[in-house]
Amino acid sequence: MNEEQIRDLVILWPGVTEHFPFDEFTLVFKVAGKMFLLVSLEEDPLRANMKGTEEQNAEWREQYPDSIFPGYHMDKKHWNTVIMEGDLPGVFIKQMIKNSYDLVLSKLPKKVQVELKG
């Protein structure tokens, strides 16, 4: 997936906004103000950080050791760095991104969750 495909996927999800809070090369997607996806635009191949449960992250890192790593500059238990333009199936990458969004959404106050889900 490239950065345009990633943006097209997530920008229409409820509560998603995009920002460049750190520098002009790190695109951050948030749901209700909480980060769920960081895309490093200057990396080649393209890389992104996304959340997962500790169990999921361990499984994914073992299954794809050349494409999924502990999150760079992030909490290594809860974040992965994923090579987006590699050997990972596109469907799997989309599932990982949606999983990250859902994890962050689930931690928001119930009132916010209800508002976002409509």
Question: Residue 87: which pLDDT band, with cuts at 50, 70 and 90?
Answer: confident
Q: Is residue 118 part of a domain?
A: no
User: What is this structure's pTM?
Assistant: 0.93
In contact, 60 and 68? CB cutoff 8 Å? yes
Q: The domain containing residue 23 runs over which residues?
A: 3-107
Strand intervals (E) in the chain: 16-19, 26-31, 34-40, 47-51, 68-70, 79-83
Summarize the confidence of residues 81-91 as an average pLDDT. 91
CA distance linking residue 10 with residue 39, whole number of Å: 12
Dig out the tokens for 60 from the structure. 């994914």
pLDDT of 76: 87
How confident is the model over 9-25, as pLDDT tens digits?
999 999 999 999 999 99
Question: CATH no. for residue 70?
Answer: 3.90.1150.30
* Average predicted confidence (pLDDT) for the chain: 94
pLDDT of 21: 95
Number of domains in the chain: 1
